[in-house]
Amino acid sequence: MEPALLRGIWNKVALRLRAELGDDLYSSWFGRMEPESCSDGVLVASVPTRFLKSWIENHYTAKLLKIAAAELPGLKQVQIKVRVQGAAVQSQPVSRSVVPPPRQGDARGHEHGTSQLNSQQTMSLQPMSNFLPQAAENALARGTALDENQTFDSFMVGQSNQFAHAATLRVANGTAGAPVGFNPLYIHAGAGLGKTHLLNALATHIKQTQPMRKVMMMTAERFMYTFIHAVRQRDTLSFKDQFQQVDVLLIDDFQFLQGKAIQQEFCHSFNSLVDQRRQVVVAADVPPSQLDTVDQRMRSRLMGGLVVDIEAPDLALRRKILSVRRDLLLARDPSAAINDDILDLIAERISGGGRELEGALNRIIAFQQFNSQPITMDLASMVLRDAAAQGQDPGRIKIDDILKVVGRHYNVSKNDLLSPRRARSVVVPRQIGMYLAKKLTSRSLPEIGRRFGGRDHSTVLHAVRKIDDLVRADEKLAKDVAALIRLIEQG
């Protein structure tokens, strides 16, 4: 492929990555990735350090391949190389049929497939100047850049999130030296439901109303690589001191915190702040009890504060979100006119969070603008067909439905699926059923275990991970699982 053409395509891939990951993660891990070549279904990209190469391979292989394939039809592999004085160190190819690198650590490793970084691995890393992005330096002093558009005023409140909103606002209105009402505040919710918005709103509010209070907001990933930087520079004391100066610490995406040494360091900083009555707020996509990669003592400390969740928005809140989004779009582009009936249709069809709703609205507007004609209800229904399937409310799918479909597909009775039987003809369908229950419902791991014959959550977690790996490696199984999902969603 011609270099100019490849560069143009890569720019589109980069835009997709930035939109999906956000500016902070994109800049940290993909900002210095460059395309090298693309031929015979293989895209070769390079990064400047071995650390970036290893991190991307262990954390973002599937996402990178999926996004690149959307711009490069027929793409089967992505190879990552390291630019080292003109020479490149080649990675193993990232392909649709390759099982990701094995997880390190014990069976309770990260549910999303990321490798753990233990203390021995941390101390064996090469000098930091050869690994981390330059942005890592002084990152603690900066934390994560705030999104000034995400304020309490712009947060849409409804029954599904009013408790989390009220608790966060209570923290934001606290004052230095005053007793802390609940510490830590732990917010958990699925992607796109507003937990990061609340963290930004909290930090922005304090900075505006109490500028003397020091607020630090950072993702778990930023905490990890800045800690590694401090270890490599033999300057962990400065790392620790940064947190002793913080009045309010906000940690986002806590479920991604990995590695024994890193978790121990976070636990020390956390305990120190809480003991000094400094406020800590943590956000994650699961409740503390389901943080299977985090030490039990840390989970216990997190549960000792106030734990609140954000549920998927109800119809009234979805309609409210869409109305606000439409007004903002109209202010920028008067041609983005969508009537109330279309908004009602979107709110009824899309049951996810703000991102899914905004994506559906953008899809309707783009269809209208590209076809240069007003969109009717029939056209809107057609445009939303795929989006509605992707954003289907997992709460509408029942575990009994999954048991019925899986049992019928594999000719296994429901009683056998729930029984202690260990025959492979029963175990594999049972594990697939658990996997689908985790993916298609909002049920917790312990609850899924109870519904599958009284098994504990670790059994469910093992099943989910095993089937997830097998789906990546076995094309036939992947097709079977996809067919099962269609059957279950169709009812």
Residue 227 CB-density burial (10 A; 0-12 exposed, 13-18 middle, 19+ buried): buried
CB neighbour list of residue 142: distance below 8 Å, 6 or more residues apart: none
CB 314 within 8 A of CB 339: no
Residue 237 pLDDT = 77
- Residue 198: predicted pLDDT: 94
Domains annotated for the chain, with CATH where assigned, are 3-98 (3.30.300.180), 136-310 (3.40.50.300), 315-390 (1.10.8), 398-490 (1.10.1750.10)
Decide: 343 and 323 in contact? Cβ < 8 Å.
yes
How many other C-beta atoms lie within 10 A of the C-beta of residue 200?
Answer: 24
From 266, 272, 271, 264, select the one nearest 284 (Cα to Cα): 266
Contact 42, 48 (CB under 8 A): no
pLDDT given at position 430: 95
| 3 state SS of 12 | helix
Which positions of the chain have pLDDT values less than 70?
A: 24, 51, 84-143, 177, 179-180, 385-396, 490-491
Nearest by Cα to 250 from 209, 285, 201 = 201
Model pLDDT, residue 488: 83
Sign of CA dihedral 110, 115, 120, 122: negative
Other CB atoms within 10 Å distance of the CB of residue 231 = 19
Strands of the sheet containing 279-284, edge to edge, are 215-219, 248-252, 279-284, 185-189, 306-310
Picking from 25, 9, 143, the residue whose alpha carbon sits closest to that of residue 70 is 9
- Please report where in the chains the tokens 């973002």 appear, as a residue: 60
Q: How far is residue 484's CA from residue 432's CA, in Å, rounded to a whole number?
A: 10
Q: Per 3-state DSSP, what percentage of the chain is helix, strand, and coil (rounded to 5)? A: 55, 10, 35
Full DSSP string of 210-250: -TTS-EEEEEHHHHHHHHHHHHHTT-HHHHHHHHHT-SEEE
Type of residue numbered 120: Q
Q: How far apart are CA 54 and CA 131, in angstroms?
A: 10
249: number of Cβ within 10 Å: 23
Name, in order, each residue with C-beta under 8 angstroms of 101's C-beta and a sequence gap of 6 or more: 57, 58, 115
How far is 173 from 110, CA to CA, in rounded Å?
Answer: 35
pLDDT at res. 84: 59
3-state secondary structure of 133: coil
Characterize the bridge pairing of strands 185-189 and 306-310: parallel
Q: How far apart are CA 457 and CA 257, in angstroms?
A: 20
**In terms of residues, how long is the chain?**
491
Give me the pLDDT at residue 444, please.
79
* Stretch (H or E) spanning 87: strand 87-90
Cα 125 from chain centre: 27
